[in-house]
């Protein structure tokens, strides 16, 4: 029997980059993996490639656009309708370097990287608890240290900075805060939570950065296989089974930014609940 046989993982943004390497490793260890993303063509191609390489055909995909909260609700409903258990949710999908607004009315990076992720997690949370023991893993970034806090008005407006990097950092701060508060709320349920920095990785998260700059940036980055290691550690290692709500870097617990407090985490949660409820009203 393979190490992860009988365990079901859902990984967002997994047809390329760190997410794809994460799925490749999980599949190689016998897990059932469902990937969630926008492109049917790319998702199916990734599944074929990974199945051919690992011999594991227990792979599937569901459509998901994190920037569109209606799509998030449909993706969760599709998974829940399958009736299968969910042991680990890896919130891997992320966007950086593009300005704008999401269809659901948030600054592009914040709406995609946090609000959509928050809603997906909430819709699947009870099912993960019922399937437990389980884990919820948020792929954040060391960029969260750059964020001085969250401007609640700015996250409802289009990106302001030229590269949208400051906005990206705020969204990654939100990922860390989300995992912290979620860990507190799930205490005693058998489901543990994690946020992490994967390293500076040459992945498709930078796809919207201008090509010349993107090429130079990637010269100094790790590859995607290296980038998946901390995600996999948080998602599967028995070493962290008793830990929850913490932030990891290079497979070690690390102190997050000083602005990561219980108070800010609780406020972000309350506002996020209100945002997704507002978006659901006709």
Which are the catalytic amino acids?
Answer: 168
- Sign, CA dihedral 144-22-131-111, equals positive
Residue 101 gets which letter from DSSP? Answer: B
In angstroms, what is the C-alpha Rg of the chain? 17
CA angle 131, 225, 192 (to 5 degrees): 25
Residues linked to residue 101 through DSSP beta bridges, in sequence order: 107
Q: What does the alpha-carbon distance between residue 101 and residue 49 come to, in Å, rounded to a whole number?
A: 33
Q: What does the alpha-carbon distance between residue 57 and residue 61 come to, in Å, rounded to a whole number?
A: 12
Q: Is 196 in contact with 140 (CB distance < 8 Å)?
A: yes
Q: What does the alpha-carbon distance between residue 30 and residue 9 come to, in Å, rounded to a whole number?
A: 11
ω into 133 cis (within 30 of 0): yes
Q: What does the alpha-carbon distance between residue 18 and residue 37 come to, in Å, rounded to a whole number?
A: 14
């Amino acid at each position: 029997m393979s190490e992860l046989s009988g365990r079901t993982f859902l990984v967002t943004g997994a047809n390329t980059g760190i997410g794809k390497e994460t799925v490749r490793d999980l599949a190689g260890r016998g897990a059932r993996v469902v990937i969630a993303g926008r492109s049917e063509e790319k998702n199916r191609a990734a599944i074929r490639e990974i199945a051919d390489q690992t011999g594991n055909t227990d792979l599937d995909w569901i459509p998901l656009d994190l920037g569109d909260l209606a799509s998030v609700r449909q993706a969760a409903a599709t998974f829940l309708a399958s009736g299968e258990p969910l042991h680990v949710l890896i919130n891997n999908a992320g966007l950086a370097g593009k300005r704008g607004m999401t269809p659901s009315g948030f600054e592009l990076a914040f709406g995609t990287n946090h609000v959509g992720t928050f809603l997906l997690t909430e819709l699947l949370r009870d099912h993960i608890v019922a399937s437990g023991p389980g884990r919820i893993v948020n792929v954040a970034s060391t960029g969260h240290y750059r964020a001085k806090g969250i401007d609640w008005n700015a996250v409802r407006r289009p990106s302001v900075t030229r590269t949208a990097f400051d906005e990206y950092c705020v969204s990654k701060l939100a990922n860390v805060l989300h995992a912290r508060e979620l860990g507190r709320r799930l205490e005693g349920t058998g489901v543990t939570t994690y946020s992490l920095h994967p390293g500076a990785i040459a992945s498709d998260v930078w796809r919207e950065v201008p090509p010349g700059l993107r090429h130079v940036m990637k010269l100094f980055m790790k590859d995607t296989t290296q980038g998946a290691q901390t995600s996999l550690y948080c998602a599967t290692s028995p070493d962290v089974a008793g830990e929850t709500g913490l932030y990891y870097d290079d497979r070690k617990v690390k102190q997050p930014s000083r602005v990561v407090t219980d108070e800010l985490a609780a406020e972000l949660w309350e506002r996020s609940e209100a945002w997704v409820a507002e978006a659901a009203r006709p």
